[in-house]
A and B are shown apart, each in its own frame.
Chain A
Amino acid sequence: MIIPGIIASRFTPQGDFESIATVSVGAGGSSSISFNSIPSTYQHLQLRWIGRTNRAGNASDTVTIALNSDSGANYSYHNLYGDGSAAGAGAGANTTIMYVGWVAGATALSNTFGVGVLDILDYANTNKYKTVRSLTGRENNGSGIVSIESNSWRSTSAVTSLTITSQFGGTYQQHSQFALYGIRG
């Protein structure tokens, strides 16, 4: 099925670091990006993104991810961030989604996107809760933020899907791209 505004592709696997799928947001924008039916044949997953939403009146938006469509209070997070003025830290327990990183919002510099690299280690292991870590940031020539994030999903289920949304209900804009990779152990 072709989803308007979304261009997705799959690649023939090769090697220990393989591209699973890539979603590039088209001209119509997208409120969510999904990776479904993730094979359990890798050891780890890596998600790499550039993104921008239409969050009004703000240069930032936050990338949120649900695993396996779980919307229960089964997540938690910690982060360490620098906003150019001060370092800070945050945390949340029993959250209903993961807060994993940054993208640009509507008032960011034109053509400027937030970016991130996220790892889900041992994603297919059914004996462990899942820990997700990311390095992420956006830079706006006079404002910006960089952070390292850690999220936990309290489930021993193998991760089979990622659903990516915006914390503030923004629509991902054209040229945003999310690329999912599998790493063999």
Chain B
Amino acid sequence: MPATYENIATTTLTSNTTNVEFLNISQAFTDLVLVVSAKDSGTGTVNTNIRVGNGSFDTGSNYSYTFLGGSGSAASSGRSSNITSTLWGAIGTTNNTVAMLHFMNYSNTTTNKTILSRNSLPDQSSGQSVSAWALLWRSTSAINRIQLYPGGQQFASGSTFTLYGIKAA
């Protein structure tokens, strides 16, 4: 029987890395929480992508998102649908972006999977410095793997990714 809030796995990058993956995720929990502290190894702010799956990563047009963002001068919102991966925030090059992603009821096989994300990007020169996201994976399959990658860039060495499981009674 798992603890109510349990560290499943932690990844700390020792070199610049394109993909960060969590595989064979235990199905014993109710929700997953992914805590990210990461920078981009490239030259500018970049949006970050996520794919999930069961047995393999879903690369079909089965993702969508709605976001709310603040840039310091304006608040905005946007969405995208029928996409092959979904965004969950952005990372910069100067300071670590911090984010928490909540994968709600990830292991059930009756509902499509909705993920909430809050993202804080403290680089002063970038947009969307604070944001909240609702993501959807249109599949009733349980999630047993997660893949994160910055678009066209790499996560910088030293970036950390910690996956927790929350077990409801």
Chain B interface residue number, banded: 35 or more
Contacts of B166 in A (CB 8 A): 17, 48, 181
Count A/B pairs, Cβ under 8 Å: 154
- Size of the A side of the interface (Cβ < 8 Å), in residues, is 49
Quick check: is B46 within 8 A (CB to CB) of the other chain?
A: no
Please determine whether B64 and A20 come into contact, CB atoms closer than 8 angstroms: no
**From residue 83 to 122 of chain A, which have CB atoms closer than 8 A to chain B?**
83-87, 109, 111-117
Please determine whether A146 and B67 come into contact, CB atoms closer than 8 angstroms: yes
Query: Which A residues contact B (CB, under 8 angstroms)?
Result: 9-11, 14-22, 48-50, 80-87, 109, 111-117, 135-148, 175, 177, 179, 181
Please determine whether A22 and B168 come into contact, CB atoms closer than 8 angstroms: yes
**How far is A109 from B169 in the complex, measured between Cα atoms in Å?**
28
Please determine whether A141 and B76 come into contact, CB atoms closer than 8 angstroms: no
Q: Check A139/B111 contact, CB under 8 A, given A82-B132, A111-B140.
A: no
**How far is A82 from B67 in the complex, measured between Cα atoms in Å?**
6
5 closest A-B pairs by CB = A82-B77, A82-B68, A137-B134, A11-B169, A84-B79
**From residue 105 to 145 of chain B, which have CB atoms closer than 8 A to chain A?**
105, 108, 110-112, 114, 116, 118, 132-136, 138, 140
Please determine whether B134 and A80 come into contact, CB atoms closer than 8 angstroms: no
Contacts of A145 in B (CB 8 A): 66, 134
Indicate which residue in B5, B31, B136, B167 contacts A144 across the interface (CB closer than 8 Å).
Answer: B136
What are 11 sample pairs from A and B whose C-beta atoms fall under 8 A apart? Answer: A14-B4, A19-B169, A21-B169, A84-B78, A113-B114, A114-B114, A139-B136, A146-B132, A146-B133, A147-B132, A177-B168
Indicate which residue in A87, A115, A142, A175 contacts B116 across the interface (CB closer than 8 Å).
Answer: A115
